[in-house]
Amino acid sequence: MTLEEKVRQFSTSPGVYQMRDADGVIIYIGKARNLRQRVRSYFNSSGDSRYHVKFLMAKVGDIDILLTDTEKEALLLENTLIKQHRPRYNLNLKDDKTYFSLRIDPDEAFPRFTVVRRRPKDGALYFGPYSSGMSARDVLHQITRMFPLRHYPLSTCMSRKRTCLYYQIGQCSGPCQKLITAEAYTALVNGAVLFLEGKGRILVSELRRRMLDASSRELYEEAARWRNLLRSIEVTVEKQKVVLRDGNSDVIGYCRNNSCVDIVILFIRSGVLSGSRHFTFAWELDDAAALSAFLQQYYSETSYIPEEIMLPFEIEDRKEQSNLLSELKNGAVSLHLPIKGTKRELVEMAVKNAFSMARELVEKEAASETVLEELYRRLDLSRIPRRIECYDISTIQGRFSVGSGIVFSMGRADTARYRRYRIRSVAGQDDFAMLREVFVRRFSTENIEKDGLPDLVIVDGGIGQLNAVRGILSELSLEGGVDLISLAKSRVLQADSTSVVRKSDERVFLPGRKNPVILRQNSKPLLLLSAIRDEAHRFAITYHRKLRGKEGISTALENIEGIGPKRRNALLKHFGSLQHLKEVTLEDIAAVKEMNYKTAEAVYIALRG
């Protein structure tokens, strides 16, 4: 039976279909309200002759189906199966770790804001995301200038005998010294939350009410505090431009450039445009399916879903998506396709931003290609180094020895391909032997088949390090298969009579060449090579410090009565470091699930001396 004959026997019920390649691996998962009709459309050139569909069908060897009772169940099942199998041609929307959020837990005693990367569903409130840690901290600095909340962990605050510097400059209300009541502190927290939610005008009204109330009761110092806060808020709110009358909305902009899709989300909170976020991913199939998959994955992971989501074009399962998001939000969510008016203008603005981001990405890739081509010419490489790998070793007298392998693709860090290596076979300080172990593990037959080969390998050091790695690659039958260079750091030269310290240029050594290549200092090719080497060093050092930290806390705890491996690991996981464990209170230690009060007391006494 041919594949088309099999599809003709499919049910007309709703469900999910799984496309497999010749090896039986699932390469695409889709949903349909009518399975037979939907899957048959892939074989009908007149009904679905798009290039992307032909591209997919050329790889399909078999198709399986799973029936459901409703379209909504099909949508949920599709989402579950995609997360389980991660097919190659489905959207894999990974959360970029460069995004940051502000977190506050209202249930905590005298809560404070912290900058975090992840947003678990732990009952806390999260605001953002922000594009960098710096931008998140800038917002946090602005918040603490207006709302004087505590800055340090509660245990650190409560252990103080006097107020901190932040209290002296008016950026903390002094809860550690009981200089503010819990009720007044809660009012500050609520105000900060309203401000971050974009409800500035509601906040202004509330602050004005509090100021007048305090004044009527002749509490003039309190009234003055609310007045000063009110002025700070009004200055900020006046700068915000109202784009809608009210309500919270997300506006979606979409742009496709060949197989690359850019999506921009504009966040509108209480009628004010408060921020945006940009996503780029590869997608081979049609635009409606891409947008539908994006909505499903993004809003199932985010901690906030607005009442309205504006779309740039129609999607097939808009009603089912709306029902699903309404359940996730526990309230009505509308997926709206604006035709005219202000909302349509907002969608067009989001689309314009998506096109701008796509153009910027193309320009960056073109600039990266130019830099890589210059490296290819200047270093006489056998190929353009579109994928560069760099390796480094970190050790202290042979202890906690680790290796790092980092990857740059098209001139940008490819963190998903970073690798760490715990050195297993080398005792003592022998960096060359450690590098050999790293290369043997990285370039094993299995890993080459899985990850492929780089175009260029960079080694930190001079001609000695280069020749050592060249010998290793020769042992692995890789010499000539990949290009190899070493990058030697600049060194301090002898100071001249004017006491001015001079440094040598950074040098690039090539196999079979005695004299190094000197690239122009601060040129883009040299800056790229230096950035790659420094990133490999940073990655190795980070892992090395992590291992030393674990060893440090294990050594400090292993001789305490009642502390075995289970409790030691629980303390390490809960507090993160030995230093943090030394700073917390006895009650904090006793609150760890695996601990009891007697053992916590033994730990507290041992660490405090």
- Residue 92, beta-bridge partner list: none
Q: pLDDT at position 446, please?
A: 87
Domain extent listing, the chain: 3-85, 100-239, 249-359, 417-533, 558-608
Rounded mean pLDDT of 466-489?
Answer: 88
Q: Could you read off the pLDDT of 49-92 as tens digits, one per residue? A: 455 666 778 888 899 999 988 888 888 888 888 888 888 888 87
Q: pLDDT at position 49, please?
A: 45
Choice among 237-241, 329-333, 368-372, 555-559 with the minimum mean pLDDT:
237-241
Number of Cβ within a 10 Å radius of residue 566: 9
Q: pLDDT at position 157, please?
A: 81
Amino acid at 449: E
Rounded mean pLDDT of 558-566?
Answer: 76
CATH number belonging to domain 249-359: 3.30.420.10
Q: pLDDT at position 396, please?
A: 65
Share above pLDDT 70 across residues of the chain, in percent, rounded to a whole number = 86
CATH number belonging to domain 558-608: 1.10.150.20
- Residue 20, beta-bridge partner list: 26, 62
- Residue 483's pLDDT band, with cuts at 50, 70 and 90, is very high
- State yes or no: pLDDT of 565 exceeds 80: no
Classify residue 430 as exposed, middle or buried by CB count within 10 Å of its CB (0-12, 13-18, 19+): middle
Q: pLDDT at position 72, please?
A: 83
Choice among 61-75, 113-127, 410-424, 554-568 with the minimum mean pLDDT:
554-568
CB contact at 8 A, 244 and 268: yes
Residue 526: CB partners within 8 Å, gap ≥ 6? 506, 519, 520
Higher-pLDDT residue of 499 and 214 is 214
Tell me, letter by letter, the H, E, C secondary structure of 304-364.
CCCCEEECCCCCCCHHHHHHHHHHHHCCCCEEECCCCHHHHHHHHHHHHHHHHHHHHHHHH
Q: What angle do CA 390, 394, 395 make, to 5 degrees?
A: 155
- State yes or no: pLDDT of 14 exceeds 60: yes
- State yes or no: pLDDT of 385 exceeds 90: yes
- Residue 487, beta-bridge partner list: 460, 508
Q: Could you read off the pLDDT of 487-507 as tens digits, one per residue? A: 987 665 555 555 565 666 788
**In angstroms, how far is the first alpha carbon of the chain from the final one?**
78
Share above pLDDT 90 across residues of the chain, in percent, rounded to a whole number = 16
Q: pLDDT at position 132, please?
A: 63
This prediction's pTM: 0.62
Classify residue 269 as exposed, middle or buried by CB count within 10 Å of its CB (0-12, 13-18, 19+): buried
- Give the CA radius of gyration of the chain: 30
Tell me, letter by letter, the H, E, C secondary structure of 479-539.
ECCEEEEEEECCCECCCCCCCCCCECCCEEECCCCCCCECCCCCCHHHHHHHHHHHHHHHH
Q: pLDDT at position 390, please?
A: 93
What distances in angstroms separate CA 473 from CA 169, 321, 477, one per listed residue?
A: 60, 53, 6
Rounded mean pLDDT of 516-538?
Answer: 89
Amino acid at 235: V
Report the candidate in 453, 449, 426, 451 with the shortest Cα–Cα distance to residue 437.
Answer: 426
CB contact at 8 A, 144 and 151: yes
Choice among 351-360, 399-408, 522-531 with the minimum mean pLDDT:
399-408
Q: pLDDT at position 96, please?
A: 45
Rounded mean pLDDT of 228-232?
Answer: 70
- State yes or no: pLDDT of 433 exceeds 80: yes
Q: How far apart are CA 80 and CA 494, in angstroms?
A: 65
Q: pLDDT at position 389, please?
A: 94
Higher-pLDDT residue of 410 and 141 is 410
- State yes or no: pLDDT of 449 exceeds 80: yes
Higher-pLDDT residue of 252 and 431 is 252
Give one word for 514, left, alpha or beta, with left for phi > 0 and alpha for psi -120 to 50.
alpha
Report the candidate in 218, 167, 157, 195 with the shortest Cα–Cα distance to residue 585.
Answer: 157
Give one word for 104, left, alpha or beta, with left for phi > 0 and alpha for psi -120 to 50.
beta
- Residue 97's pLDDT band, with cuts at 50, 70 and 90, is very low
Amino acid at 243: V
Quick check: helix, strand or coil at residue 418?
coil
State residue 110 phi and psi, 5-degree precision: 45, 65
The DSSP bridge pattern shows strands 399-409 and 272-282 to be unpaired
Report the candidate in 308, 229, 211 with the shortest Cα–Cα distance to residue 265.
Answer: 308
Rounded mean pLDDT of 147-170?
Answer: 82
Rounded mean pLDDT of 452-458?
Answer: 92
Q: What is the mean pLDDT of the chain?
A: 82
Q: If you count them, how many residues does the chain have?
A: 609
Span 417-533 CATH architecture: 2-Layer Sandwich (3.30)
Classify residue 306 as exposed, middle or buried by CB count within 10 Å of its CB (0-12, 13-18, 19+): buried
Tokens linked to 267: 């966040």
Rounded mean pLDDT of 202-215?
Answer: 78
Choice among 347-361, 495-509, 563-577 with the minimum mean pLDDT:
495-509
The answer to whether 249-359 and 417-533 have equal CATH topology is yes
Quick check: helix, strand or coil at residue 564?
coil
- Residue 48's pLDDT band, with cuts at 50, 70 and 90, is very low
Rounded mean pLDDT of 215-239?
Answer: 70
Count Cα neighbours of 77 within 13 Å in the Cβ-side half-sphere.
20
Q: How far apart are CA 522 and CA 567, in angstroms?
A: 51
Q: pLDDT at position 312, please?
A: 95
Residue 301: CB partners within 8 Å, gap ≥ 6? 93, 95
Q: What is the DSSP track for 113-139? A: -EEES---SSS-EEEEEESSHHHHHHH
Q: How far apart are CA 307 and CA 327, in angstroms?
A: 12
- The domain made up of 3-85 has a fold known as GIY-YIG endonuclease (3.40.1440)
Higher-pLDDT residue of 371 and 95 is 371
